[in-house]
Structure 1
Amino acid sequence: MNERLLVTGGAAGIGKAIAERGVGAGWDVIVIDQSPASVGRSIIGNLADLASTAAALDEALSGGPITRVVNNVGAVFPAAVEDQTLEHMSASFDLNLRSAVQVTQALLPGMKESSFGRIVNMTSRAALGKEHRTAYAAAKAGLIGMTRVWALELARDGITVNAVGPGPIATDLFLNANAPGSPRTRAIVDAIPVGRMGEPHEVARAAGFFLDADAGFVTGQVLYACGGLSVGVNPV
């Protein structure tokens, strides 16, 4: 069986932790990111751009089919609804949502030929609702919807599709969207039931469960790695 894993946005943070877990599992790991990756095979590509994404995928697939993928790349674009620009809405959909469709479409022929596939979409607890997250929450909620649709469409091909929804994780993505020490950031951390922020390797472990060959009876699910922050919120 093909043992190749593609991680988008895998040069840092959660994506890097997932790439490290893939290497630890003995898989051939490929990372597409606009920055060089230190784990696995690094392919430079701007996943917000159609042509750049296509070129990066061609390079990744030149070594053969890829049967595992984590659609991890993302950006937040924080703003209150009255300040949310349509340009940032479009940019959020391109990076957080469209790239997942484009990447998955490119890999599906190889997965179907292998009668095996593991697709993990990185959504967010913010999809359940969070202030100043119109562009981000809309895109991440869209990923949840696509996860459920793809799970139904691809199940007979031996392909599972699941999503991981991180809560506040100690990464640059979080710190860039939540000013350290601000009252709003302190309120977020104080609200986490386990009393701390999560670490990238903890999200990678959740993704690793879905990527495992033995997880073939689990599909269409969303696992919130959020320290309990989603408890009491009606999940999608």
Structure 2
Amino acid sequence: MSARECVLVTGASRGIGRAIAERLTADGMHVINFDKAAPENIAEHETFVQVDVSDEKILRTALTDVTSKFKITRLVNNAGIVRPATIEKTTIADFQAVMNVNVAAAIICVQALLPAMKSAHFGRIVNIASRAALGKEERIAYATSKAGLLGLTRTLALELAADGITVNAIGPGPIATELFQSANPPGAPATQRILDSVPLGRIGQPEEVAHIAASLLDQRAGFTTGQVVYVCGGMTVGLSQ
């Protein structure tokens, strides 16, 4: 077992999840990374576990294994998928697939880690939501799932406060991840329209989301719970004209 404090981060092999994992290991934590694929480079203080979080049986088995080896009192529910579609083209199968990864997996992870958190009378849970929870075209399933995470965050914050466990959410706006850049090539008109809509005039970086996550996971962040921090360059205040 690592002597470092342990944090479970789902989907920590790429994008925002990777930036969070790297920040937390740099801050002195041991990261347990649940992802379908390994990162390009596994950090010295990282345990990678190949897990398909959409499969409840596989996820619960993996959680049972890691909780028997590590005392985990911090959790980042970051794993997520997108199935872009308008309401006319959204299928229930796609909706359920998105909800399984974006919401159900988060609930299962919380359930598995609660005993250790309650025993320690300390816990930090951060759910990675999205600015899309406030509404975004062609994101029926995704926006609904991320809005569900916000409701989960607030409800858990109330239920777990007496146990010294804080629960918060982060709502990233457009962030320069591999997924975003593959769908929005630099220099493309559609990409420029997104840039023009951000008051700060640029795309956010994964490390900027990781900084907020690290702050909310800190032991000193004990009086902040049930909150949503939007890392969106000002888009939730008002779109740039």
Q: TM-score, normalised by structure 1?
A: 0.94
Amino acid at match of 1:52: I
Partner of 1:173: 179
1:24-68: CA deviations, max 9, x gaps? 111111100000132311000000111111122122212132100
Kindly indicate whether residue 227 of structure 2 is the aligned counterpart of residue 225 of structure 1. Answer: no
Report which stretch shifted further, 180-189 or 121-130.
180-189
Mapped partners of 1:59, 1:21: distance in 2: 25
Letter aligned with residue 3 of structure 1: E
User: What is the alpha-carbon root mean square deviation over aligned residues?
Assistant: 1.6
| Aligned match for 1:4, one of 3, 6, 10 | 6
Q: Which amino acid aligns with 1:5?
A: V
Partners of 2:201 and 2:113 in 1: CA distance: 39
Post-superposition shift, 1:180? 5.7
Further displaced range: 198-207 or 49-58: 49-58
Spell out, residue by residue over 1:80-113, the C-alpha distance to the aligned partner (whole angstroms, 9 max, x if none). 1111111110000000000000001000010000
Counterpart AA for 2:202: R
- Following superposition, the deviation at residue 184 of structure 1 comes to 3.5
Structure 1 residue 179: deviation in Å?
6.0
Gaps of 5+ in 2: none
- Name the structure 1 match of 2:68: 62
Residue of 20, 23, 26 corresponding to 2:25: 23
Query: Shift in Å at residue 21 of structure 1?
Result: 1.1
Q: Does 1:82 align with 2:88?
A: yes
**Are the equivalent residues in 1 in contact too, given 2:204–2:233 (CA < 8 A)?**
yes
1-10 vs 196-205, which deviates more?
1-10
What is the one-letter code of the residue matched to 1:128? L
* 1:92 aligned to which of 87, 98, 105: 98
5+ unaligned residues in a row in structure 1: which ranges?
Answer: none
Contact 2:4 2:28 (8 Å CA) reproduced:
no
Percentage of matched positions with identical amino acids: 52
Q: Which AA in structure 2 matches 1:195?
A: G
CA distance in 1, matches of 2:22, 2:217: 13
Query: Cα deviations across residues 154-212 of structure 1 (Å, max 9, x unaligned)?
Result: 00100000000000001123235546655443322210111110110000001111100
Instruction: For residue 214 of structure 1, give the secondary structure of its aligned residue in structure 2.
Output: coil
Determine if contact 2:83/2:98 at 8 Å carries over to the other structure. yes
Residue number in structure 1 paired with 2:165:
159
2:138 aligns to what? 132
Instruction: State the alpha-carbon separation in 2 of the partners of residues 230 and 182 from structure 1.
Output: 24
**TM-score (norm. length: structure 2):** 0.92
Conservation of the 8 A alpha-carbon contact between 2:4 and 2:30: no
- Which deviates the most, 142-151 or 16-25? 16-25
- Aligned equivalents of 2:148, 2:141: Cα separation in 1: 11
With over 3 angstroms needed to count, the CA separation of the structure-2 counterparts of 1:159 and 1:102, relative to structure 1, is same
Count of residues paired in the alignment: 233
